[in-house]
Structure 1
C-alpha cells in the first residue's frame, strides 16, 4: 500500500512538489512561532524569585534640593519603618521589579573567566525582608558586612552556574579587568526574574549599598523606596506615607505604585507581541487549510475517471477515502521532514538563545499541528471521493 502511494505521488510529482513546499514553509513558520510561544510559556511557569504582593514602590524625586540626600533618606527610611502598617522598607536602584530600567554589566572576572552579561541591582540589608528572596546558600547582607575586606555581593543560581559551574559560589572573590576592585560572594538566591512574568531567569547580582556609609547620593540618582505593607492596606496608609515623605524631606515629590500594578502594566506590554504572534500563526493555519482543501478538491475533480475505474474493479468507498487520506499524509510527511531538517539548525546555532528542550517541544507542536491540519482538510474531500459512483464518473468522462 505504501509503495503504491509513493508511486501515485511520483506520477503527480509536479503538483505534489508544490504542495510539499507549501507544507514545508508552513511548518517552518509554525516552528518559529511555536518556539517563541513555548519559550515564553516555559518562562511564565518558572518562579519569580520574589514576592511582589503587598509591596509599594515610592519614586522619590528630590528635585533641586542640594542638601545631604543620604542623611535625609536615612531619616525617611526610619520614619517609614516606624509607621503602623509598614512591615519593611528598602532603598534600591531604578531597575526595580517590572520596571523598564536595566543595569547590565559584564565587568566581573574569576580566574580570568569573564562573567556573563549580568543584571546588577543595588540592595541594602532589608531588601530580603521586603521582596522575600529565597537564599539557598550563604546569607543575605547584614551588619557583619560593614567591615568586610571585599565588597559583598549576592548572586542568583543562574549566575553561579554560568560563572563557577559545579563549584560552590559562596566565598568566591571576583575582580574586574583592572584588578582594582574586588567582590566577595556571600550568598546565593534561588532566582530573580524582575523584568516580567515572561522573562528568562538570567544571571543577577546584588551589590550592597547602605545609607550609613560615606558619600552622598549623586544628583543624577533618584532614590527608589520599596515598602512592604500589611495585607489589606489601602489608600489611607498610602496617603499617610506620602504626607510623611513630604514632611521629612521638606517637599520632595513622591509617586507611588504597587508592584502588582507595575506587573499588570508590564504584562499588557509583553502580551501585545505574543498576541500578534498567535494571530500570525492562526492566519497561517487558516490559509494553509484553505489551500490544502482547494488542492484536494481539485485533485478529486481531475481524478474522477481513476476513482470510477477503481470502484468498477471492486474498490470500496472506504478504500478510496483511505487512499486520498494516505496520499495527503505521505506528502505531509515529506514536507515536514524537510522542515525538521531546517528546524534542527536552530538549536545547533542557538538562534533564539533558549534551551534545547524548547526547540524540541516546538518541533513536536508544529508537527502535530501540521498533521492534524492535513487530516482535517483531507477528511471531507476523501469522503466526497469515496461517495463517487463508478457509473457516474465514467459517464462524465
Structure 2
C-alpha cells in the first residue's frame, strides 16, 4: 500500500511539490513560534530565586549639581528603617529588580571565563531584604571590614561555570580582562553561594549574578542612592508617604521615589508579553492561510481526479478505501515537508543558536511536527469524505 502511495505521489510530483512547500513553511513557522512559547513558558515557571513580595524600591537623588555625603545617606537609612511597618532597608546599586537597568561583565578564574554576568552592589542587609536562599557559606558581615579582597556572593550557575566541582568558598577571581594593574577591590573573594536568580522579568531565564559588598564606612559622595525596603504585609500608600517625608526631613534638596517591586514586575511582564503575543497572532494568521490553501488544493485535486476515482470504484474499491487513499497520500506528502523542515530546525540546537539549550528546540520540533500532521489531517478529512462519496457511474458519465 505504501509503495502504491509513493507511486501515485511521484506521478503527480508537480502538484505535490506545492503541497510539500506549504507543509515545509508551515512547519518552520510552527517551529519558530513553538520554540519561543516553550522557552517563555519554561522561564515563567522557573522560580525567581528571591522574594519580591512586600519589597519596595526607594531611590533618592541629590539636587542639581549636588552629591549626597555618605554620613547623611546612612542617616536616611537609619530613619527609614526605624519607621513602623519597615522590616529592613538595604542599600544597593541602581540595577534594581525588574527595571530596565543592568550592570554586567565577564569574570575569569584559572582560564575559565563566564558569560555576561549581572553584578550588584549590596550591603550587609541585602539578604534580609530579598530573602535570597543561601546554598553555601554566608552573607556579608562586619567581619569582612578588614578583608584584603572584595567580598562577593555568587549564584549557583556562576559557581559551576567558574569552579566546576571544586570548592568555591574562599576562592579569588577577577574580571576576564582586568588590565595591567589589578587593584584589591577588583579581586573578588567568594563568601557565599545562593540559588540562581531571575531579576529581569517573568519570562527571562536566570542569568549568572554576583553581589559585591558595599563598604559601610567609606566617604563616597553619591549622586543617586538606591535601596530595597522590606515592609510588613499590607502596608501601602501611607507608609510610602512617611518614607518620602522622612527623606525630606534630612534634606529637602533630595528627591525621592518609592515604588512597589511587584508593580515593576507586572509592568516588565506586560512589556515582554506584547511581542510574544504579536508573534503568536502572526503565526496563527499564517497557519490559517496555509490550512485554507491546503484545503483548496486538495479539493481541486479531487475534482481533477474524478475519472480515476470512478474507475477505482468500478473495479471494486470501497468508498472508505478511496477516502483512506487520499488521506494516506496527504500524510506521505506531509512527511516529506516535515522531514525537510526538521532538517532545517535541527541546525538550531546543533549551532547553539541564541544561546538556548537544545531541549526547547527539540520539544518545538516535536510539537511542530504533531501540529502539522493534525492540520493536514483536518484539511484532508472533508475532501477525502467527498472523494469517498463519488459514485462510479456518475464519475464515468461525466468523462
Indicate the TM-score class for this superposition, using the shorter chain for normalisation.
over 0.9
Q: 1:117 aligned to 2:116?
A: yes
5 Å matches for 1:313-392?
313-392=315-394
Match of 1:272 in 2: 274
CA contact (8 A) 2:134 2:192 kept: yes
Match of 1:62 in 2: 62
Q: Deviations over 1:253-298 (max 9, x none)?
A: 1111101110111011000110011112101210110011011000
Task: Report runs of 4+ in structure 1 exceeding 4 Å deviation.
Answer: none
CA contact (8 A) 1:76 1:249 kept: no
Structure 1 residue 351, shift from structure 2 partner: 1.3
Q: 1:202 aligned to 2:202?
A: no
Match of 1:43 in 2: 43
Structure 1 residue 68, shift from structure 2 partner: 4.7
Of stretches 31-40 and 177-186 in structure 1, the one that deviates more from structure 2 is 177-186
Structure 2 residues not aligned, in runs of 5+: none
Match of 2:166 in 1: 167
5 Å matches for 1:180-191?
180=183, 181-191=186-196
Q: Deviations over 1:135-172 (max 9, x none)?
A: 11111111121111211001111111122222222221
CA contact (8 A) 1:135 1:188 kept: yes
Match of 2:262 in 1: 260
Structure 1 residue 113, shift from structure 2 partner: 2.8
Match of 1:214 in 2: 218
Count of paired positions? 393
CA contact (8 A) 2:86 2:231 kept: yes
Structure 1 residue 175, shift from structure 2 partner: 2.5
Match of 1:133 in 2: 132
Question: d(CA) in 2 for partners of 1:381 and 1:217?
Answer: 77
5 Å matches for 1:67-86?
68-86=68-86
Match of 1:8 in 2: 8
Question: d(CA) in 2 for partners of 1:342 and 1:65?
Answer: 57
CA contact (8 A) 2:122 2:213 kept: yes
SS at match of 1:257: strand
CA contact (8 A) 1:110 1:174 kept: yes
Question: d(CA) in 2 for partners of 1:218 and 1:338?
Answer: 59
CA contact (8 A) 2:86 2:230 kept: yes
| Structure-2-length-normalised TM-score | 0.96
Question: d(CA) in 2 for partners of 1:72 and 1:2?
Answer: 83
Match of 2:305 in 1: 303
Structure 1 residues not aligned, in runs of 5+: none
Structure 1 residue 114, shift from structure 2 partner: 2.6
| Structure-1-length-normalised TM-score | 0.96
Question: d(CA) in 2 for partners of 1:251 and 1:215?
Answer: 20
Question: d(CA) in 2 for partners of 1:55 and 1:25?
Answer: 47
CA contact (8 A) 2:327 2:380 kept: yes
Question: d(CA) in 1 for partners of 2:40 and 2:340?
Answer: 26
Question: d(CA) in 1 for partners of 2:266 and 2:67?
Answer: 36
SS at match of 1:297: helix
SS at match of 2:266: helix
Question: d(CA) in 1 for partners of 2:289 and 2:68?
Answer: 65
